[in-house]
Structure 1
Amino acid sequence: MYVKNGTGVLKKVLLSKPEYLKATPINEIAKKWDLHLDIDKMLLEHELFVQAYLDNGVEVEFLDADADRPNSVFSRDFGGCIKEGYILGRFKEPIRYKEHVDYEAKMEELGIPVVARCEEGLFEGGDFAFLNENTIAIGMVARTNEQGIEEIKKAIEPLGYEVIPVRCKEEYLHLDMCFNLVDDTLAVAYKEGLPSEFVERLEKMGIEIIPVSEESIFAHGCNLQALGDKRVLSLKSNQYVNEELRKRGMKVIELDITEILKAGGGPHCMTFPLLRE
């Protein structure tokens, strides 16, 4: 048993440090910044991020940083983890191709089997979201396509999963930039950017949505990481969302991260869950 849902108690994660990260202009956020980010500041921010996990009982595994895969700090994107093993995705951007090889080798080292892989289509883990233990939403935004989703469905639907494609505007990059489940029946989302049938599905499942503006997508307002037991990692700058979460009984662990964000990813993007109870 590895990861059975998106909101159970998180016990183990796979991360990678931002030693070679640059604001490569491959998404709408990174296009606004200089390519050369403050490495020392990013490393300090990442240390605080790691410490937040350790303080909350989460074991941390690392893939060593590598200059040939500068974006591997966004470990979420190489695939998705389910209870039987993991799904190996396929990157759209050439700058990320080496991540396929190195993350697959790391998962083999950790003894976690591949249960599905994208060979022809595209899939990145920022588009992967459990809605419950048997229902998985996969965004079709900028870097996951229909062919990739079909390859995943063919592999995991026989295991009892329902896979729901969710098409969003390409500028939003990944589903986790505009929708995130933070507790069993609580999500943060830009509702107007999601397909109406998906929003209706969430409502039927009894999932309450804390609404955010379209602008908050690009400030990582939805890019939160659920820890389980009503705990969530968020950004210190995310004041409105954090207050709304607290009103609903959530414990919000605030991260003072700003520099890493300039490359286009937040706490959720930087986390690949390996074990949830």
Structure 2
Amino acid sequence: MTSVSLLGPGDEPIVLGVTTPEVPVRVPTTRRYLMCPPEHFTVEYAINPWMDPTRPISTELALAQWTELKETYERLGHRVEVIEPVPGLPDMVFSANSGTVIEGRVLGARFRAEQRAAEADHFRRWFLANGYSTVVMPERTNEAEGDFTWTGKYLLAGTGFRTDPLAHSEAQEVLGVPVISLQLVDPRYYHLDVALFVLADDLIAYYPDAFSPGSRQALRRLFPDAVIANAEDAACLGLNAVSDGRHVILPVEATNLGEQVARRGFEPVYVDISELRKSGGGPKCCTMELRD
């Protein structure tokens, strides 16, 4: 902040004006999301570092937190579609992992873990039943929006733990968008969507230590003004966030990240999703965006 002043009679300063750094006006856009209620949520196995089958789990609490997330989207003016949960698929709540939709074209998922493999076909059938004519199921392992993040210009594509790097070229062919590969190196951040999210066109937030040196350099070149998350933001899955261009849905613990995005003109909206985090998920994991 700076001020401009002159000396008045008696040498008293006269303040002519105060200038502050310009904060962009952020405008939300209405989104459409696909979600799945966690009616069968539990932690029966461990396929990521967050999962511990010996910890107690409350399906009732998980459902209450998921409902609050859904109602938050609806309160902000977004439309939420719901797919029916299937018994025996406790991670189906994490709908982001089961499809990538850009301009009405759908690239389905192929899970690395056998415990989740059946989810992909349930989502495929939902797409076909809801008017999507171009639905391609992948040949290579890809965990959809878990590792594919659309910026509006590029498809950022993570690899290292789940998605096959050859799935990146497959995504480019199916979706017809340019793909930029990013290497993940920390097993706690096994999907791209727990290490990075898009705030608005040409602006992202990410945790550098989740990426290889070359990927960090690429992100700096592409997004020099990015919001940089710290270790505490990452550890509460703060980067598993959802932005509509103004409102940023964050876990309640991600206060530092919330303060940072607020300084950029966004409005942080905090939700408690702690029960679902016991399976390694946050707001974004529960939210597939339908970009028609």
For residues 119-198 of structure 1, what are the structure 2 equivalents within 5 Å? 119=139, 121-125=140-144, 126-133=146-153, 135-156=154-175, 159=176, 161-169=177-185, 171=187, 172-198=189-215
CA distance in 1: counterparts of 2:214 and 2:131, whole angstroms:
38
Question: Does the 8 A contact of 2:199 with 2:205 survive in 1?
Answer: yes
Greater percentage in helix: 1
Question: How large is the RMSD of aligned CA atoms in angstroms?
Answer: 2.1
Report the identity percentage.
23
Question: Does the 8 A contact of 2:41 with 2:91 survive in 1?
Answer: yes
Distance 1:71-1:35 versus aligned 2 partners, 3 A rule? farther
* Amino acid in structure 1 at the alignment position of 2:228: P
Question: Does the 8 A contact of 1:231 with 1:252 survive in 2?
Answer: yes
Q: 2:281 aligns with which of 257, 265, 271?
A: 265
Q: 2:255 aligns with which of 216, 232, 239?
A: 239
Correspondence for 2:51: 30
Distance 1:197-1:132 versus aligned 2 partners, 3 A rule? farther
Is residue 2:36 matched to residue 1:19?
no
CA distance in 2: counterparts of 1:144 and 1:10, whole angstroms:
29
* Amino acid in structure 2 at the alignment position of 1:147: L
Question: Does the 8 A contact of 1:69 with 1:99 survive in 2?
Answer: yes
Q: Equivalent residue of 1:132, what SS?
A: coil
CA distance in 1: counterparts of 2:232 and 2:173, whole angstroms:
36
Q: 1:92 aligns with which of 98, 101, 112?
A: 112
Correspondence for 2:102: 82
Give the C-alpha shift of residue 115 in structure 1: 4.8
CA distance in 1: counterparts of 2:30 and 2:238, whole angstroms:
21
Give the C-alpha shift of residue 170 in structure 1: 5.5
Q: Select the structure of larger CA radius of gyration.
A: 2
Give the C-alpha shift of residue 266 in structure 1: 0.4
Segments of 5+ residues of structure 2 without an aligned counterpart are 1-26
Give the C-alpha shift of residue 147 in structure 1: 2.7
Distance 1:162-1:70 versus aligned 2 partners, 3 A rule? same
CA distance in 2: counterparts of 1:27 and 1:227, whole angstroms:
28
Give the C-alpha shift of residue 217 in structure 1: 2.9
Question: Does the 8 A contact of 2:127 with 2:135 survive in 1?
Answer: no
Correspondence for 2:265: 249
CA distance in 2: counterparts of 1:68 and 1:46, whole angstroms:
19
Q: Equivalent residue of 1:182, what SS?
A: strand
* Amino acid in structure 2 at the alignment position of 1:25: A
Q: 1:213 aligns with which of 216, 230, 234?
A: 230
* Amino acid in structure 1 at the alignment position of 2:143: E
* Amino acid in structure 2 at the alignment position of 1:195: S
Is residue 2:87 matched to residue 1:67?
yes
Question: Does the 8 A contact of 2:109 with 2:142 survive in 1?
Answer: yes
Give the C-alpha shift of residue 10 in structure 1: 3.9
Question: Does the 8 A contact of 1:117 with 1:151 survive in 2?
Answer: no
CA distance in 2: counterparts of 1:207 and 1:114, whole angstroms:
35
Give the C-alpha shift of residue 36 in structure 1: 4.4
Correspondence for 2:6: none
* Count of aligned pairs: 263
CA distance in 1: counterparts of 2:28 and 2:135, whole angstroms:
21
Correspondence for 2:7: none
CA distance in 1: counterparts of 2:133 and 2:216, whole angstroms:
33
